[in-house]
Amino acid sequence: MPKAVRIAVLVSGGGSNLEAILEAKKSGQLPGIEVVLVLSSKADAYALTRARDHKIETAVVERKQFLSDEAFNAATLAALIQSQADVLCLAGYLRKLGPGIIHRYRGRILNIHPALLPKYGGPGMYGHFVHEAVLKAGEKESGCSVHVVDEEFDHGPVLAQAKVPVLPGDDAEKLAARVLEQEHKLYPKSIREFCEKI
Protein backbone atom coordinates (compact mmCIF):
# COMPACT_ATOMS: atom_id res chain seq x y z
CA MET A 1 0.00 0.00 0.00
CA PRO A 2 1.60 3.30 -1.05
CA LYS A 3 1.65 5.88 1.70
CA ALA A 4 -1.29 8.28 1.93
CA VAL A 5 -1.08 11.62 0.16
CA ARG A 6 -1.20 14.27 2.89
CA ILE A 7 -3.16 17.40 2.02
CA ALA A 8 -3.44 20.74 3.78
CA VAL A 9 -6.52 22.83 3.03
CA LEU A 10 -6.12 26.63 3.17
CA VAL A 11 -9.22 28.68 4.00
CA SER A 12 -10.35 32.21 4.87
CA GLY A 13 -14.12 31.90 5.27
CA GLY A 14 -17.05 29.56 5.68
CA GLY A 15 -15.31 26.52 4.28
CA SER A 16 -18.12 24.87 2.33
CA ASN A 17 -15.56 23.44 -0.12
CA LEU A 18 -13.55 22.17 2.85
CA GLU A 19 -16.72 20.47 4.09
CA ALA A 20 -17.21 18.89 0.65
CA ILE A 21 -13.65 17.51 0.80
CA LEU A 22 -14.10 16.17 4.34
CA GLU A 23 -17.46 14.58 3.48
CA ALA A 24 -15.95 12.99 0.36
CA LYS A 25 -13.16 11.60 2.54
CA LYS A 26 -15.67 10.27 5.08
CA SER A 27 -17.75 8.55 2.38
CA GLY A 28 -14.72 6.80 0.86
CA GLN A 29 -14.42 8.95 -2.28
CA LEU A 30 -10.85 10.02 -1.44
CA PRO A 31 -9.00 6.76 -0.84
CA GLY A 32 -5.33 7.16 0.01
CA ILE A 33 -5.74 10.83 0.89
CA GLU A 34 -5.40 12.23 4.40
CA VAL A 35 -6.39 15.79 5.37
CA VAL A 36 -3.64 16.68 7.85
CA LEU A 37 -4.19 20.42 8.37
CA VAL A 38 -6.70 23.20 7.84
CA LEU A 39 -4.88 26.53 7.84
CA SER A 40 -6.86 29.76 8.00
CA SER A 41 -5.83 33.35 7.33
CA LYS A 42 -8.65 34.47 9.68
CA ALA A 43 -9.14 33.40 13.29
CA ASP A 44 -12.93 33.72 13.04
CA ALA A 45 -13.34 31.65 9.84
CA TYR A 46 -16.20 29.18 10.25
CA ALA A 47 -14.09 26.68 8.28
CA LEU A 48 -12.05 26.17 11.48
CA THR A 49 -15.17 24.96 13.29
CA ARG A 50 -15.86 22.55 10.44
CA ALA A 51 -12.29 21.22 10.69
CA ARG A 52 -12.51 20.74 14.46
CA ASP A 53 -15.85 18.94 14.09
CA HIS A 54 -14.02 16.45 11.86
CA LYS A 55 -11.08 16.24 14.35
CA ILE A 56 -8.67 17.80 11.83
CA GLU A 57 -5.63 19.74 13.04
CA THR A 58 -6.02 23.52 12.56
CA ALA A 59 -3.68 26.51 12.41
CA VAL A 60 -4.36 30.24 12.17
CA VAL A 61 -1.82 32.55 10.54
CA GLU A 62 -3.21 36.08 10.22
CA ARG A 63 -1.40 38.83 8.32
CA LYS A 64 -2.03 41.37 11.13
CA GLN A 65 0.13 39.28 13.49
CA PHE A 66 3.23 40.15 11.45
CA LEU A 67 5.19 43.27 10.58
CA SER A 68 5.77 42.25 6.96
CA ASP A 69 4.41 40.04 4.19
CA GLU A 70 7.71 38.14 4.35
CA ALA A 71 7.23 37.26 8.01
CA PHE A 72 3.59 36.28 7.40
CA ASN A 73 4.55 34.06 4.46
CA ALA A 74 7.39 32.47 6.44
CA ALA A 75 5.01 31.59 9.29
CA THR A 76 2.46 30.17 6.85
CA LEU A 77 5.16 28.07 5.18
CA ALA A 78 6.45 26.86 8.57
CA ALA A 79 2.97 25.63 9.55
CA LEU A 80 2.59 23.81 6.22
CA ILE A 81 6.03 22.17 6.50
CA GLN A 82 5.28 21.09 10.07
CA SER A 83 2.10 19.34 8.86
CA GLN A 84 4.22 17.37 6.34
CA ALA A 85 1.61 18.10 3.68
CA ASP A 86 2.33 16.79 0.18
CA VAL A 87 -0.36 18.85 -1.57
CA LEU A 88 -1.98 22.20 -0.75
CA CYS A 89 -5.64 22.76 -1.60
CA LEU A 90 -6.91 26.34 -1.52
CA ALA A 91 -10.60 26.51 -0.64
CA GLY A 92 -11.64 30.14 -0.46
CA TYR A 93 -8.19 31.26 0.72
CA LEU A 94 -8.08 34.98 0.04
CA ARG A 95 -4.38 35.72 0.41
CA LYS A 96 -1.79 35.45 -2.34
CA LEU A 97 0.69 32.70 -1.54
CA GLY A 98 4.23 33.95 -1.00
CA PRO A 99 7.02 32.95 -3.40
CA GLY A 100 8.60 30.65 -0.80
CA ILE A 101 5.39 28.61 -0.54
CA ILE A 102 4.99 28.44 -4.33
CA HIS A 103 8.63 27.35 -4.66
CA ARG A 104 8.38 24.67 -1.97
CA TYR A 105 5.14 23.16 -3.32
CA ARG A 106 5.45 24.00 -7.01
CA GLY A 107 3.07 21.92 -9.11
CA ARG A 108 1.34 20.61 -5.97
CA ILE A 109 -0.98 23.51 -5.11
CA LEU A 110 -4.60 23.39 -6.27
CA ASN A 111 -7.29 26.06 -6.19
CA ILE A 112 -11.00 26.12 -6.98
CA HIS A 113 -12.22 29.30 -8.66
CA PRO A 114 -15.91 30.21 -9.20
CA ALA A 115 -15.66 30.99 -12.93
CA LEU A 116 -14.56 29.41 -16.19
CA LEU A 117 -10.90 30.43 -16.26
CA PRO A 118 -9.15 32.15 -17.94
CA LYS A 119 -12.25 34.36 -17.84
CA TYR A 120 -13.02 36.27 -14.64
CA GLY A 121 -9.82 35.50 -12.78
CA GLY A 122 -7.10 37.68 -11.33
CA PRO A 123 -6.74 40.20 -8.50
CA GLY A 124 -10.06 41.18 -6.91
CA MET A 125 -11.93 38.41 -8.70
CA TYR A 126 -13.35 36.34 -5.85
CA GLY A 127 -16.73 35.60 -4.31
CA HIS A 128 -19.63 37.77 -5.42
CA PHE A 129 -17.31 40.01 -7.50
CA VAL A 130 -16.87 37.14 -9.97
CA HIS A 131 -20.58 36.43 -10.30
CA GLU A 132 -21.43 40.14 -10.66
CA ALA A 133 -18.85 40.47 -13.46
CA VAL A 134 -20.27 37.40 -15.25
CA LEU A 135 -23.82 38.81 -15.08
CA LYS A 136 -22.73 42.31 -16.11
CA ALA A 137 -20.99 40.87 -19.19
CA GLY A 138 -24.20 39.08 -20.22
CA GLU A 139 -22.58 35.63 -20.27
CA LYS A 140 -24.83 32.67 -21.11
CA GLU A 141 -22.87 30.27 -18.90
CA SER A 142 -20.53 30.27 -15.96
CA GLY A 143 -19.08 27.57 -13.74
CA CYS A 144 -16.00 26.70 -11.77
CA SER A 145 -12.41 25.71 -12.46
CA VAL A 146 -9.81 23.71 -10.58
CA HIS A 147 -6.30 24.83 -11.48
CA VAL A 148 -2.69 24.47 -10.40
CA VAL A 149 -1.50 27.59 -8.56
CA ASP A 150 1.50 29.59 -9.72
CA GLU A 151 2.84 33.09 -8.97
CA GLU A 152 -0.12 34.87 -10.57
CA PHE A 153 -3.71 34.93 -9.32
CA ASP A 154 -5.93 32.31 -11.01
CA HIS A 155 -3.32 31.71 -13.67
CA GLY A 156 -1.87 28.16 -13.57
CA PRO A 157 -2.94 25.21 -15.75
CA VAL A 158 -6.65 24.36 -15.53
CA LEU A 159 -7.24 20.71 -14.58
CA ALA A 160 -11.05 20.54 -14.68
CA GLN A 161 -14.15 22.67 -15.16
CA ALA A 162 -17.88 22.33 -14.59
CA LYS A 163 -20.38 24.58 -16.37
CA VAL A 164 -23.73 25.98 -15.29
CA PRO A 165 -26.19 28.04 -17.31
CA VAL A 166 -26.79 31.69 -16.46
CA LEU A 167 -30.57 31.91 -16.18
CA PRO A 168 -32.92 34.86 -16.78
CA GLY A 169 -33.52 36.63 -13.48
CA ASP A 170 -30.23 35.49 -11.96
CA ASP A 171 -28.52 37.73 -9.45
CA ALA A 172 -25.04 37.13 -8.02
CA GLU A 173 -26.46 35.13 -5.11
CA LYS A 174 -28.52 32.74 -7.27
CA LEU A 175 -25.66 32.21 -9.70
CA ALA A 176 -23.20 31.71 -6.83
CA ALA A 177 -25.39 28.99 -5.31
CA ARG A 178 -25.59 27.12 -8.62
CA VAL A 179 -21.82 27.37 -9.17
CA LEU A 180 -21.07 26.33 -5.57
CA GLU A 181 -23.09 23.16 -5.99
CA GLN A 182 -20.77 22.20 -8.85
CA GLU A 183 -17.66 23.24 -6.91
CA HIS A 184 -18.57 20.77 -4.16
CA LYS A 185 -18.64 17.93 -6.72
CA LEU A 186 -15.71 19.00 -8.89
CA TYR A 187 -13.10 19.81 -6.23
CA PRO A 188 -13.02 16.46 -4.35
CA LYS A 189 -13.04 14.58 -7.69
CA SER A 190 -10.19 16.74 -9.05
CA ILE A 191 -8.16 16.33 -5.84
CA ARG A 192 -8.54 12.56 -6.05
CA GLU A 193 -7.49 12.45 -9.72
CA PHE A 194 -4.55 14.78 -9.07
CA CYS A 195 -3.30 12.79 -6.04
CA GLU A 196 -3.58 9.47 -7.91
CA LYS A 197 -0.92 10.75 -10.33
CA ILE A 198 1.59 11.83 -7.69
Catalytic residues: 113
- E strand segments, the chain: 5-11, 33-40, 58-60, 87-90, 109-113, 141-148, 158-165
Q: What is the CA radius of gyration of the chain?
A: 16
Between CA 65 and CA 95 the distance in angstroms is 14
Between CA 109 and CA 18 the distance in angstroms is 15
CA-CA-CA-CA torsion for 121, 153, 87, 197, nearest 10 degrees?
Answer: 60
